[in-house]
A and B are shown apart, each in its own frame.
Chain A
Amino acid sequence: MEGYSGSISELLNSICDSIIKIGIVVFFHHNPGALDTAEGLARWVGRNKEEVEKALLELSRTGVVEAFGEGPSTIYSYTQDEEILNTIDEFIDGLSRESSPLKKTVSLLEGH
């Protein structure tokens, strides 16, 4: 990710390698109090449960989401880490700018 420091760039790269992950991050960004299982979150973001489950596992590894419990009843919430939150805020705001090539994609994910 151009213009970002090493660890932040790594974090953003790990999100941007999948449209499902971007969708989940955008959902949590707008609904920071969301708290649900993979199945529940799949319904919120309008995606297939298996894809969402896989994306959530990866996002929990990078600290973007927090996982509680084990197995199918594991529930996920948005990170409380201020640094990650600020990075994602900045990243999503950047994506939403007129000049961003991903603006259309983000708008679709936001349901506009």
Chain B
Amino acid sequence: MMRQLPTGIEGLDDILCGGLMPVSATLLEGPPGCGKTTLGIQFIVNGIMKGEPGLIITFEQFAQQLYNDAKNFGWNLQEMERQKKLRVICTSPATVRDHLLQSEGIVHSFINRLGIKRVLVDSVSHFRRVTENDSELRELLFSMINAFKQRGITVALTKEMGMKEEPSFEEYVVDAIVNLSYEHVGQSRVRTVEVIKTRGHDHISGKHFFRFESSGIKIFPANTRVYVEDPPEFPALIATGINGLDRMVGGGIIPGSSILLCGPAGTGKTTLSLQSIYNVVTKYNRKAVLFLTGESKESVARIAGGFGWDLQDLQQRGLFRIIENDFTKINIDEYLIQIRNVLQEFKPAIVSVDSLPAVLHTIRDNLGLVTEKIRFLNNLFKAYRCVSFLIVRTPLGSNRISVYGEEEALCDGIMILGSRKVGQTRRRNIEVYKLRNQKHVFGECGMDISKNGIKVFYVGKGGGR
């Protein structure tokens, strides 16, 4: 089997399951301004970094414009040209047709002289300046691609297209198609990339968010399979350190389990997760992470401080991290990749996501996307073997245990926190409603929150369901 050629573009090689096929043609299509040319230049620049000289053929943009745009990403194309690793040719489609396809043509002399391995043609839409006849256009494109392939070159071709367009002849001629577009997600507009077709190798289907960063395009492939080479070693059960609760679940929670921690406001969800984190770190000397989206760092520190849990001390000991994000600005895929990177690098035994609906806020109108992202999040926790508390606030008095109805089925466990009015007082309770692969007490148990934190009133042996 032929070894794939990594594009070097972060995230794209994950989606392409390793990269493009060498000596292939890839169409980068999308509406104006979506990043086709940048992606193409990045493909060329990454090739040059690996010792594969490149050629950029532009039919519309001045080389000067490309030089300036590339500088924004730290790519000095002029210097690469001086070093004879790159050639940027401003030309017209007719010239390419008349000269490129000739074996002794001038373009070929550049290819031979520089030892070109990667080519970007920006854009093939301009071939319509030569002819409007589709079969002639197809023939022209086919000949050009073959002229490159015969010289062992991998070529990327950009193509302009509207947001909704029927497949065109270009799509049949190339080996791979990468579609770039804009999407409305909630109130914001985001860029997405989708691999439509690959010949000779697999790819991960679906749309993935991407962003322009200072070093080029970065794709956040949050629909990919999660595979961890070196998963952290933890005991068979991770105890929360809240005695009554641990007894309810048979001693602790299986590593990798995601627990939906739900209940109305003021029932102790944040406190329970903080106490578990504090205990896991201080009693068992294991690492923990708190992903904050709804709550602020200050308010959480205040809650913890009220119980005498010094979160700053845990952070200073290098055993605890707080990752805070503004939920109104979260790009879900970017956020999930941020979580993945933290799990990969820090390897915590327990994490808390406070809160899950805030994480999903920007995609709340798309139930399919919500399901997909929760599944990916759970896969992440499973792959890195950490116990996760996903906090969900439910309306007081409702029978709901989640916001979307999907979380309940996707998570491994559900713990419901509540309170009931008895006479003039209100009594707290906790119920382990579901816990996959673990025996647990069925039904409510009393709970109290005092100056020492949460106390669960369960004195039995555990087990029952």
Contact = CB atoms under 8 A, between A and B. Distances in A.
A59 B15 CA distance: 50
Interface string B109-137: 00000000000000000000000000000
Contacts of B202: none
B91 A35 contact: yes
Interface in B77-119: 81, 87-92, 94-95, 98-99, 106-107
A77 B92 CA distance: 13
A55 B387 CA distance: 74
Contact of A35 (B62, B64, B90, B94): B90
Given A68-B106, A77-B106, A31 B62 contact: yes
Contact of A40 (B81, B95, B106, B107): B95
A75 B99 contact: yes
Nearest to A37: B95
A19 interface: no
A34 interface: yes
B106 A30 contact: no
B217 interface: no
Describe A's contact surface by its main secondary structure: mixed
B237 interface: no
Nearest to A29: B64
A40 B62 contact: no
Nearest to B61: A31
B93 to A, nearest CB: 9
A83 to B, nearest CB: 17
Contact of A44 (B62, B88, B94): B62
A33 B95 contact: no
B99 A34 contact: no
A44 B14 CA distance: 39
A34 B91 contact: yes
Contacts of A43: 92
Nearest to B106: A68
Given A73-B98, A75-B99, A77-B106, A33 B63 contact: yes
Interface residues of A, number: 17
A58 interface: no
Interface in A23-59: 30-37, 39-40, 43-44
A33 B106 contact: no
A110 to B, nearest CB: 8
Contacts of A69: 99
A33 B94 contact: no
Interface in B55-76: 62-64
Contacts of A35: 89-91, 95, 106-107
Contact of A30 (B62, B81, B92, B95): B62
B89 A34 contact: yes
Contacts of B91: 34-36, 40
Contacts of B89: 33-35
Interface string B33-74: 000000000000000000000000000001110000000000
B92 A40 contact: yes
B442 to A, nearest CB: 74
Contacts of B90: 31, 33-36, 44
Q: Which of B88, B90, B95, B98 has the most CB of A within 10 A?
A: B90
Contact of B92 (A31, A32, A37, A68): A37
Contact of A37 (B81, B94, B107): B94
Contacts of B95: 35-37, 40, 75
Contacts of B62: 30-31, 44
Interface string A82-107: 00000000000000000000000000
Contacts of A33: 63, 81, 87-90
Contacts of A31: 62-64, 88, 90
B63 A32 contact: yes
A68 B92 CA distance: 15
A13 to B, nearest CB: 26
Contact of B63 (A34, A37, A39, A40): A34
A68 B81 CA distance: 22
A97 B95 CA distance: 35
Nearest to B78: A32
A22 B107 CA distance: 26
Contacts of B92: 36-37, 39-40, 43
A28 to B, nearest CB: 10
Given A33-B87, A36-B91, 12 more contacts: A30-B62, A31-B63, A34-B89, A34-B91, A35-B90, A35-B106, A36-B92, A40-B91, A44-B62, A68-B99, A75-B99, A75-B106
Q: 7 tightest A-B contacts by CB?
A: A40-B92, A31-B63, A34-B90, A30-B64, A33-B88, A33-B89, A36-B91
17 contacts: A31-B63, A31-B88, A32-B81, A33-B63, A33-B87, A33-B88, A35-B90, A35-B91, A36-B92, A37-B92, A37-B94, A40-B91, A40-B94, A44-B62, A69-B99, A73-B98, A75-B106
